[in-house]
Structure 1
Amino acid sequence: MPDTIETSTSESTAEMTPVTVSPSELVRRAQSLVPMIRERQEETEANGRVSAEIFGAIRDAEIFKILLPRRYGGFEYGLDTFAEVGFEIARGCGSVGWVNSVTAMYHVFLGMYPERAQDDVWGEDPGAVLAASFTPTGTVTPVDGGYSLTGKWMFCSGVDNCAWTIVGVTIPAAVEGEPDGKAYALVRTSEFDMENNWNVVGLSGTGSKNIMCNELFVPEYRLLPIEETMTGNPPGAAVNDGPLYRIPLFAAMSCSLVAPIMGMAQGAIDEFIDLTKGRITRGAALSKPAPMAELPGIQLKLGEAMAAVDSARLLVDRDLKDIMETVSSGRELTIDQRARNKGDWGYAARLSVQAVDAIFAASGGGGLFKTGRIQRYWRDTHAGSAHISMNWDAVGALYGRVTLGLPSGPAQF
């Protein structure tokens, strides 16, 4: 097991203050962090994880409070605010943006657990942040007072920075022939062993490593059946009465992926603009050297990329505002809404890939150097879009299938 988990302390429950930070101020704070995060891209990638310093700076900016329940000092702002802030952070670095968004989203996840489980985490430290791995590759067996957990989980993004981790588990059926149950177990990260296997071509700095445990005790109240996350009325709604915690888990979760993906594409655009303004062609394609910014082909690629990211952002923002309006009015999200959102967000990721492809193509030979940022944004955007929830072939087909009135199948959305 790891000797320590790098977290940062925060104020105690007794010192919590009312909401004083507006959504626009949180966006401004995120923007102010971008230069520092951008300058450390290469370091983050080389280390294979987000540093405690960067993670702490995000925490100090109160960005992790966006989806934290108010009773623990959080803001409980909408998913649209969350996504806008996540977009900005990812402009600085894809890996940092990814870890920021997914770990911050898990505040909604924990907010669905019974009050006692929430108190274990946020009663001890309201600034605690969680990692998660959803695939039920662990097994629990009933023991006195809870369960014995054994398993191995992949893709635990940001786990080095998180004091707690939620993992998917299978509950063997009590009666032969009946289906197994599925649930999520809440565990202190320090109780897991870690495998430093995260050696990848994109999002290399997310530290999305394997974790494992053997016969680890989990109290009964820290196990949340998957069906209770999909009803709109989870156990945590008894104490967290805001709309965030009544959104079916997978109807919200994917926005934590698409927001940083769009931000990565915008980061590539930002970098390209800065480089192109001072770039002079050596004359290989022209009769003499000329400013690259004056070339119509360069202008077209930039316009294509900007239009793609703008379109993606508008699509996602519309959907997130629609989610918040629906649940805030006490209504449930329809299957059609949920399928549309899933499809829209996958398409937004596709548009983001188109944007970085245009930028990379326009960058020429200079864009190939590993020390450059454009190639890193390009790799990171492609890596994020490889997530199954962002895979256009999968989510686009789901959107079409539901619209045609056919069963959605086993997809979680």
Structure 2
Amino acid sequence: MTDAATNPLAQLNHVDIPAPGRKSPVMGAPSIEKIVASASELVPVLRARAQRTEQDRRVSEETTRAFHDAGFFKLMQPARYGGFEYGFTAFIDVVSELARGCTSSAWGCSLGAIHQWLVATFPEQAQDDVWREDPSAIVCGSYAPATMAEKVDGGYLVHGKWLFASNVDNSQWALLGVQFPPEEKGAAPTAGFLLAPRSDWSIEDNWHVAGQAGTGSKAIVIDKPTFIPGHRKLTFAQASSNNPPGAAVNTNPIYRIPFLSAVPVCLVSPIIGTAQGAVDELIGLAGSRVTRGAVAGGGSRLSEFFPVQSRLAEASASVDAARLLLYRDTAQVEQMAADGHVISIQQRIRNRRDHAFAARLSRDAVEAVFASVGGAGLALDQPIQRMWRDTNAISRHISLNWDAVSSMVGQYLLGLEPKGQY
């Protein structure tokens, strides 16, 4: 496996774009450089555990403890609960670095860390419910509104099944997508989220998949009507605004960034890091692997073949392009929030485009790497085949699906009403 010491371009991976989120406002918080260094130290550990993580279909408790110890789940948590209040640009550095070792583990960390930011946008009492007794509590989530909440005195009754709850095994709370009944007669239901503690739900072990198997994205089940107090509610409209309820007590501008300009960052960061890991793997493999059999140039090292050289260059450029897109948009959103500006529809549409296109670039980079390694890349203990399956899985996530997102962007560019969420 290649690392920064043997990949001559790896030392340039850090993108030094000024952004408010790269500095913590919290006295005594570790520097982002120190946190990223902790992530780098974990890369070989995660790589060694990657095959077992996939077989277990979940991130292990041991790995989760390491993430806690390194402070990764505190990255975007409010200072009131011991968090560091870093922004999304810092978040990208940490998660993409972890993904060089194991995509599924980085994904679990990414969702856990981003949900600390999302919980911070809920009303203050909801935040207290989650963190007052256990500031280290982490939250899984299933965003799609899977059921209609029933309005009752003081809150809501809910029951149903919520799919794709990544890292659910290691979570103490769940963020559940629901439909809320209309406030006025004749109005449409509204979408949003409710927070439920672990005691309210069970896990259905239904995660048997070809890619991202180690994320443990199982189903959450509430099998009978269960009461959730109204203060644990956040509507999608509130989450998409520049002024969610939690911003009243968490005054760092990062908590005013709209949901869809923020959350997809946690989905793109792992795929970019995985693509970088695949490039590094190919560099290490190409220098040592010698071709055999009836091929032109048989007996030569992979590194001597022009197609391998060309694909490696293209993959490396694709990873850099994806990283730059994500950094640019995220830095601009952070600065706009810091300046008190509303994140415009124009900016939101571009963010959605760039999130999906960065995922596509990263997937294509891994495709180029996988096409270069031949039969040696097919073994289940070979990381590149797992990276190929994982990146193909991530790029099919509804938030990153290029077919869906590109249609919405094209509509906007043509002066039509964009159909989709932004």
Please give the TM-score of this superposition, normalised by the length of structure 2: 0.91
Whichever residue aligns with residue 97 of structure 1, its letter is A
1:43 corresponds to which residue? Answer: 52
Distance 1:286 1:406 in 2: 53
Partner of 2:204: 195
Residue 39 of structure 2: aligned partner: 30
Deviations 1:315-367 (A, max 9, x none): 11111111111101110111111101110111111111111111111010111
> Are the counterparts in 2 of residues 49 and 205 from structure 1 also a CA contact under 8 Å?
yes
Q: How many Å separate the matches in 2 of 1:147 and 1:333?
A: 31
Contact 1:276 1:292 in 2 (8 A): yes
Q: Against the structure 1 CA distance between its residues 303 and 124, is the aligned structure 2 distance closer, same or farther, given a 3 Å change threshold?
A: same
| Number of equivalenced pairs | 396
Does structure 2 retain, via aligned residues, the 8 Å contact 1:159–1:189? no
Alpha-carbon deviation of 1:153?
A: 0.5
Partner SS, residue 412 of structure 1? coil
2:167 paired residue number: 158
Say which SS state the counterpart of residue 289 (structure 1) adopts: coil
Tell me the residue number matched to 1:253.
Answer: 263
Contact 1:283/1:290 (<8 A) preserved: no
Residues in 2 aligned to 1:171 and 1:75: alpha-carbon distance in whole angstroms: 33
* 1:406 partnered with 2:413: no
CA contact (8 A) 2:260 2:352 kept: no
Match of 2:336 in 1: 326
- C-alpha deviation, 1:401, in angstroms: 2.0
2-structure distance, mates of 1:287, 1:114: 66
Contact 1:103-1:130 at 8 Å conserved across structures: yes
Q: TM-score under structure 1 normalisation?
A: 0.93
Identify which range, 338-347 or 271-280, moves more after superposition.
Answer: 271-280
Counterpart position of 1:4? none
Q: Runs ≥4 in structure 1, deviation > 6 angstroms?
A: none
Q: How does 1:13-412 map to 2 (within 5 A)?
A: 18-173=27-182, 177-213=186-222, 214-282=224-292, 284-286=294-296, 288-409=298-419, 411-412=420-421
Residue 371 of structure 2: SS of its match in structure 1? helix
Q: Assess if the C-alpha contact under 8 Å between 1:139 and 1:151 holds in 2.
A: no
* Aligned equivalents of 2:413, 2:115: Cα separation in 1: 30
Moved more, 314-323 or 290-299: 290-299
SS at match of 2:122: coil
Closer, same or farther in 2 for the Cα pair 1:268/1:143, shift >3 Å?
same
Letter of the 2:366 partner, please give it. V
* 1:389 partner SS: coil
Change (3 A) 1:175 1:68: closer
Q: Which runs of 5+ in 2 are unaligned?
A: 1-25
Closer/same/farther in 2, CA of residues 287 and 161 from structure 1, 3 Å limit: closer
2:35, 2:176 → 1: CA distance? Answer: 30
Counterpart of 1:58, as a letter, is F
Q: CA RMSD in A?
A: 1.4
Whichever residue aligns with residue 268 of structure 1, its letter is: A
Q: Assess if the C-alpha contact under 8 Å between 1:49 and 1:204 holds in 2.
A: yes
User: In the TM superposition, what is the alpha-carbon distance from 1:283 to its structure 2 partner?
Assistant: 5.2
- Which piece of structure 1 moves more, 119-128 or 38-47? 119-128
Q: Distance in 1 between matches of 2:409 and 2:205?
A: 37
Which residue in the other structure is 1:10 paired with? Answer: none
Task: Find the aligned partners of 2:40 and 2:46 in 1 and give their Cα distance.
Answer: 10
CA 1:178–1:20 in 2, change beyond 3 Å: closer, same or farther?
closer
Instruction: Tell me the distance in 1 between the aligned counterparts of 2:218 and 2:56.
Output: 13
